[in-house]
Amino acid sequence: MALTFQVEAVCGNARAGRLVTPHGVLLTPAFMPVGTQAAVKALTPEQVWETGARLVLANAFHCMLRPGAELIERAGGLHAFMRWPGALLTDSGGFQVFSLAELRTVTPDGVWFKAPRDGSRHFMSPERSMAVQNALGADIAMVLDECVKLPASPEQIRAAVDRTTCWAERCLASHQNPAQALFGIVQGGTDPAERERSARALVALNFPGYAVGGLSVGESRTAMIETLQVTAPLLPFHKPRYLMGVGTPADLQAASAAGIDMFDCVHPTRMARHGTVWAEGERIHITNARFREDAQPLDVTCDCTTCARYDRRYLHHLARCGEYLSHTLLSIHNIRTLVRTAERLRREILAGTFQQLCYDRRQ
């Protein structure tokens, strides 16, 4: 079997689990950094590993465009190509196609789109997505889905759910890599009835894991959390649940409380490239003048390499000068912050104190 998952403890709806993949064990709740083009921006695989991350997301859409899935397959697959020793998940490209609204045409068969780099035309069908992801060889692959920007009309949401279900069936039928687990993606906007309709259709297909997609695409944070609270209980208890594209410390806690196990987001590295970090429970901009002579580490509670070796005044200098090293050091800290957040949530669930943690944060 490509993947096994065990729920080790629950506290309210929050779960602590153990996900076993061909390339290692992931203890959940877990945050996975995003390596869109087979690299987490500004970091080596060794630096990512040192943050405690054990699962990285790469994007099949971008890897298909450059350097090409066939080249990566000849190199021994994505793990060998990027020298990553842990588990990998490939996103099908549904969200990227969504983000290219002016460059794509959605049809029942798939999506025609223009590559943003050179304008070349490509067609992504469920079958093509599976062929690409099979070749890349990640531990977890995702079905091709249709994500709609919110707010959307009921007709748009309903059509996206129908297409996502149809494409999921076609992905399942064409998936050919027995060492790779294929996850379904629940759509439905913020409409509880459509979320339920999508979840029931996908659960009937018996995927080894399920993702909640189509959130953090224009809706309020309250609507996102309410949608998670409706959707997560519809998914099989003994299979992993993955919330796509959401990643702040507060969001990890809220999603865990709803019963989500896995998270990914570009937020920590994107923030770092703009000189922003999470430190001691708040967001700070290291380029602010008040940090010019601050000899403290970024966060005295953090055990990352950046906080152990460098102080705020040096990081302030690097960021103000535009040195690429600031991207690296701040990314290490931000990713470690989210990994530590997930580790703490896991400890609280195992100890039976997760609900008290949530209560304390609301005070």
pLDDT at 197: 98
Inform me whether the pLDDT recorded for 97 exceeds 80: no
- pLDDT the model gives residue 1: 63
| 264: annotated active-site residue | yes
311 is catalytic: no
Nearest-angstrom CA–CA distance, 349 and 359: 14
Identify the CA nearest to 101 among candidates 109, 89, 91, 111.
Answer: 111
The rounded distance, in Å, linking the Cα atoms of 240 and 256 is 12
How many CA atoms does the CB half-sphere of 200 hold within 13 Å? Answer: 7
Set 91, 145, 261, 299: catalytic member: 91
Phi, psi (rounded to 5 degrees) for 235: -95, 150
**Model confidence at 363, in pLDDT bands (50, 70, 90)?**
very low
Q: Would you say 79 and 110 are in contact if contact means Cβ atoms under 8 Å apart? A: no
In the chain, CATH 3.20.20.105 sits at 28-265
Do the beta carbons of residue 217 and residue 237 sit within 8 Å? no
Sign of the CA dihedral with 97 first, then 70, 267, and 209 last: positive
Q: Report the range of poorest mean pLDDT among 20-34, 89-103, 130-144, 255-269.
A: 89-103
State the burial class of residue 229 (Cβ atoms within 10 Å of its Cβ: 0-12, 13-18, 19+): middle
Averaged pLDDT, 343-358 = 92
* Measured distance CA(42)–CA(80) in Å, rounded: 19
Query: Average of pLDDT values for 49-77?
Result: 96
3-state secondary structure of 137: coil
pLDDT bin (cut points 50, 70, 90) of residue 103 is low
Q: Which two tokens stand for residue 37?
A: 């083009």
pLDDT digit string, tens, across residues 111-124: 888 777 788 888 89
Which of 139, 145, 261, 264 is catalytic? The answer is 264
Q: Is the pLDDT of residue 150 over 90?
A: no
Beta bridge partners of 250: none
Q: Is the domain 28-265 a CATH 3.40.30.10 member?
A: no
What is the C-alpha to C-alpha distance for residues 139 and 208, in angstroms, rounded to an integer? 12
Q: Is the pLDDT of residue 362 over 60?
A: no
pLDDT at 251 over 60: yes
Neighbours of 290 (CB within 10 A): 11
Share of the chain above pLDDT 90, in %: 85
Q: What is the mean pLDDT of the chain?
A: 94
pLDDT at 361 > cutoff 90: no
Residue range 17-45: mean pLDDT, rounded:
97
Average confidence (pLDDT) over 28-38: 97
Copy the structure tokens of residue 5: 């998952």
Say which residues have a Cβ less than 8 Å from residue 132's Cβ, sequence separation at least 6.
Answer: 60, 63, 64, 69
Model confidence pLDDT, tens digit, residues 284-330: 999 999 999 999 999 999 999 999 999 999 999 999 999 999 999 99
Return the pLDDT at 280.
85
Quickly state the pLDDT bin for 99 (edges 50, 70, 90). low
The beta strand positions in 273-357, using DSSP E, are 276-279, 282-285
Per-residue model confidence as pLDDT tens digits over 197-242: 999 999 999 999 999 999 988 899 999 999 999 999 999 999 999 9
